[in-house]
Structure 1
């Protein structure tokens, strides 16, 4: 009889313990309502889920990063497209890459203060983790980035105005200053996402665009080409950039077309080669760039017209690359 009582007592204790365990396995409130623990006014939070604890933490951090990325990514695309349409020099692939890299760096710095505050293993074996970032910590990091971008902008403008050895270097410095301010706009947007009103700027990317336009308008450029059609194409493209095209100047843009003999392939004549532009100042070549060209026609005598049409269609972009990208000699 005593053995039976002991067995019943053991079963009772086991049952009570099982109930307590089930109670502890209840889904934590922070999974669905993290703000009940970490108020939205002071924190950014995100939950991650995975089959392993460390992976759940990484997923939570990645989800928190999306809070920055989603809005900023859309605004970056909008800003880039607007600048392409409105800027005399547009936005080069180099500038776009640099802007994305800056945003990534700023976001990584802001997220360096993220901490995994809670984790939970569900009855199904799935781990949950809560990533928390103090808004004040993120704001301090973004403020530092904005100050650094403002200082860099000032240095580029000073170089353009007082130090640059030639007009193209001066333009490139202004373009770099504009790109820094575009990155600053995105950092300022991130700052607003953490509840701070943002930091006003003394010189915006729009003001720098005006400096670029003024610089272009002050430039007098001559054209050098053996082909009258190519000369007219260059003059038209340079005028669209806003520079003054004159007969003689210290700045000269030259064009050269290097093409192979036409080839007949399956009833089509093909013309291949390259189009090269160079810009020099005071007799010294500053930048030289080359682009492949390829045209086709059913009649061989139409090839040169097609080639000219191809160059005419692309001359504005070619000239922007010539004066905006890193010089290539």
Structure 2
């Protein structure tokens, strides 16, 4: 069975089904435009209020950069949802939507600015891990300094390389922890699973994959919920 959806509109009612000569099933849905328009407008206005409150909290109320980043991350998700609602509104309101105070680019700029206010000291037992973390932080726009109240620690926990059916496998986990002075602000762990036909390449492939994913891991860590 193959299904496809172009746009989901809440409130639509399927009034008829039919099957063509190729056996494909079609459905006819109808949507009352004015009630749908009202629902979308209410949802958009609610999202606008949520976005404004989150940005206000991040800019004024948040007591540390991590709390601000978490609020901005939620604001970005709300903005994406809001934009989708506005597209739906334009479908049922003859192209007339509601202008937004913000857009995704504006929220992304706020996130980049917030990342730039977070000086971080990187610590790791493995010098290569430390270097990888510093590079990933730089890609995010985070300043790395010799001493800071915020300390990022990286840990790897890898099992020995194993061979299965001619392939060499490396499995384990990668853990990041952010501390503010002696308090753990955020801590997350991600699985590692890579393979290579050459035993000498499996470690390199693991490093390449980690370097590719590290900026995303770090943003996830830095924007996680915190007090």
Alpha-carbon distance in structure 1 between the residues aligned to 2:162 and 2:14: 65
Counterpart in 1 of 2:44? 146
Counterpart in 2 of 1:212? 111
Name the SS for the 1:275 alignment partner: strand
TM-score of the pair, normalised by structure 2? 0.79
Inter-CA distance 279–134: structure 2 relative to 1 (3 Å threshold): same
Structure 1: which 5+ runs fail to align? 1-65, 73-103, 120-128
Counterpart contact for 1:237–1:315, Cα < 8 Å:
yes
Inter-CA distance 200–310: structure 2 relative to 1 (3 Å threshold): closer
User: Counterparts of 1:291-302 in structure 2 under 5 Å?
Assistant: 291-296=190-195
Among candidates 150, 154, 160, match of residue 261 of structure 1:
160
Counterpart in 1 of 2:96? 197
RMSD, matched Cα: 3.0
Between the two proteins, the alignment pairs up a number of residues equal to 212
Q: Determine which structure has greater relative contact order: mean sequence separation of CA pairs < 8 Å that are 6+ residues apart, divided by chain length.
A: 2
Query: What is the CA distance between 1:192 and its match in structure 2?
Result: 1.2
> 178-187 vs 160-169, which deviates more?
160-169
Alpha-carbon distance in structure 1 between the residues aligned to 2:202 and 2:58: 43
Counterpart contact for 1:139–1:196, Cα < 8 Å:
no
Residue 224 (1) aligns with residue 137 (2): no
Counterpart in 1 of 2:23? none
Structure 2: which 5+ runs fail to align? 17-26
Among candidates 69, 78, 85, match of residue 187 of structure 1:
85
Among candidates 145, 163, 170, match of residue 61 of structure 2:
163
Higher radius of gyration, 1 or 2: 1
CA distances 1:242-295 after superposition (whole Å, capped 9, x unpaired): 111111112221101112234455565543221111112233212211122234
Name the SS for the 2:191 alignment partner: strand
Alpha-carbon distance in structure 2 between the residues aligned to 1:136 and 1:300: 64
Residue 134 (1) aligns with residue 32 (2): yes
